[in-house]
């Protein structure tokens, strides 16, 4: 009997940990807004509400791996945790630079903090200002690109869209031996080039390669009023976090305060054809958020209510080239 070969596929990490899912007022179960996105073991902190460093320790996130912090807007429940985190990093003897991405108005506040408390800092805080009225690419490395998305609130605010960079094509293992390919040949083929044999025969790239894994994406949108045009910017996002401060019965209050409802979040997710919707930033007026979740799921079934400590892997779509079937891996875990 022929022994069946086992194919191993290495999937690099791309997952979200929710540190805080409450709105402005923390509760015994929910802290103010903060998320950590793990992209290939690089950790990005998104917003930093009060108590963020406590949540980082509570949920076993390696603080030393956080080198980039993104602040959506300058309201206290999204930024007050920064100052304690700055101090703790100093007491821990941090050495790498800490990069802060925030609206340009934050520079004055940061300079005041450094003047009062940062005279003996053992690491550098590098500030990257942005404006909120147009999309901007504010960060990129070999694995991910981060862009801002203008939102609507009582102060300048942006969302953040994280997109994994497209990977190179996968080369078929059998052709390496068949055509005696060297490292340079393999690299060119993975970049999309055809292969020319020593006798000038052209082997099309499609006969040498397999499609790469689909790049993954995550979008963070809080705080904001709902407006339909957002669906264009968020189209086909794999995981969307969208604030749902209020229930549909309080949509008038949502409009007045510059927030959104669970129904509006779900409508946006449906219109944008996202893979999965995560709602959060819940008002403390609701003893239970079950009703908000039901409202959203009536419109968009793949809706989940954020809970502090939950981990949401961003989906991976990959091909099984043995039988031509596509497999989708998606889920989340609770602590």
Which overall architecture, per CATH, does domain 14-167+213-329 show? 4-Layer Sandwich (3.60)
Share of the chain above pLDDT 90, in %: 84
Quick one: pLDDT at residue 11?
Answer: 57
DSSP character for 180?
T
Question: Which residues are tagged catalytic?
Answer: 77
CA atoms of 193 and 187, how far apart (whole Å): 9
- Give the position of tokens 């954020």: 306
Mean of the per-residue pLDDT values for the chain? 91
Strand partners, 327: 318
Decide if pLDDT at 116 tops 60.
yes
For the chain, the domains span: 14-167+213-329, 170-210
Q: How far apart are CA 90 and CA 96, in angstroms?
A: 11
DSSP letter for each residue of 276-299: EEEEE-B-TT-S--HHHHHHHHHH
Contacts of range 161-164, beta carbons closer than 8 Å, 24 or more positions apart: 161/217, 161/218, 161/219, 161/220, 161/233, 161/234, 161/237, 162/37, 162/39, 162/44, 162/217, 162/218, 162/219, 162/220, 163/215, 163/216, 163/217, 164/14, 164/39, 164/215, 164/216, 164/217
Q: What is the pLDDT of residues 215-268, one digit of tens each?
A: 999 999 999 999 999 999 999 999 999 999 999 999 999 999 999 999 999 999
Whether omega for the bond prior to residue 118 falls within 30 degrees of 0, making it cis, is no
């Amino acid at each position: 009997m022929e022994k069946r070969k086992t194919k191993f596929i290495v999937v690099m990490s791309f997952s979200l940990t929710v540190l805080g899912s409450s709105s402005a007022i923390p509760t015994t179960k929910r802290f103010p807004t903060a998320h950590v996105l793990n992209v290939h073991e690089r950790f990005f902190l998104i917003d930093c509400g009060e108590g963020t460093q406590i949540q980082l320790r509570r949920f076993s996130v390696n603080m030393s791996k956080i080198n980039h912090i993104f602040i959506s807007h300058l309201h206290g429940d999204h930024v007050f945790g920064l100052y304690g985190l700055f101090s703790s990093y100093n007491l821990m003897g941090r050495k790498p630079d800490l990069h802060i991405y925030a609206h340009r108005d934050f520079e004055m506040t940061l300079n005041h903090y450094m003047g009062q408390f940062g005279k003996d800092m053992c690491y550098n805080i590098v500030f990257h200002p942005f404006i909120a009225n147009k999309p901007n690419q504010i960060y990129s490395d070999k694995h991910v690109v981060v862009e801002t998305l203008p939102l609507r609130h009582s102060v300048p605010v942006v969302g953040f869209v994280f997109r994994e960079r497209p990977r190179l094509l996968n080369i078929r293992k059998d052709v390496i031996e068949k055509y005696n390919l060297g490292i340079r040949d393999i690299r060119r083929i993975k970049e999309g080039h055809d292969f020319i044999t020593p006798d000038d025969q052209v082997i099309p790239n499609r006969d040498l390669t397999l499609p790469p894994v689909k790049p993954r994406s995550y979008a963070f949108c809080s705080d904001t009023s709902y407006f339909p045009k957002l669906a264009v910017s968020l189209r086909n996002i794999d995981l969307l976090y969208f604030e749902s401060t209020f229930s549909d019965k309080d949509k008038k209050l949502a409009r007045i305060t510059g927030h959104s409802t669970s129904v509006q979040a779900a409508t946006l997710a449906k219109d944008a054809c996202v893979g999965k919707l995560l709602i959060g930033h819940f008002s403390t007026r609701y003893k239970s958020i079950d009703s908000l979740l039901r409202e959203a799921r009536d419109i968009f079934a793949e809706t989940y209510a954020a809970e502090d400590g939950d981990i949401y892997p961003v989906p991976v779509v990959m091909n099984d080239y043995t039988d031509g079937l596509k497999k989708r891996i998606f889920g989340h875990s609770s602590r």
